[in-house]
Structure 1
């Protein structure tokens, strides 16, 4: 029984340590973040709530820009 308790405690400690490893950057304004390893992450936040914004047009623009970059 004592061995089972040690195994359970070890699993709980490992799970607790690993739970803090993953983090995500959430922002409600434009943000630049530098991680511990020197990686620079930029997050641009825009309000796209107007009726003249079209999701398919944006997707087509991004796809063509990516295709142009890759050729």
Structure 2
């Protein structure tokens, strides 16, 4: 089996480093393949794309969680 980035499909060489999630809760909730093929990423950018993580401003963050605020 060739191992490739779960986001962009880049094929890993035997000397490449692989970025992977090691938190058990995330693994159980987000990844499906027992062989880990959907938890192998070539870069932080690909990992962030796959997990839909992005930088936002402080104001954007506060706006996202405004509903939960108590005055």
* TM-score normalised by structure 1 residue count: 0.21
Higher strand share: 1
Report 1 or 2 for greater relative contact order, CA contacts < 8 Å, sequence distance ≥ 6: 2
* TM-score normalised by structure 2 residue count: 0.21
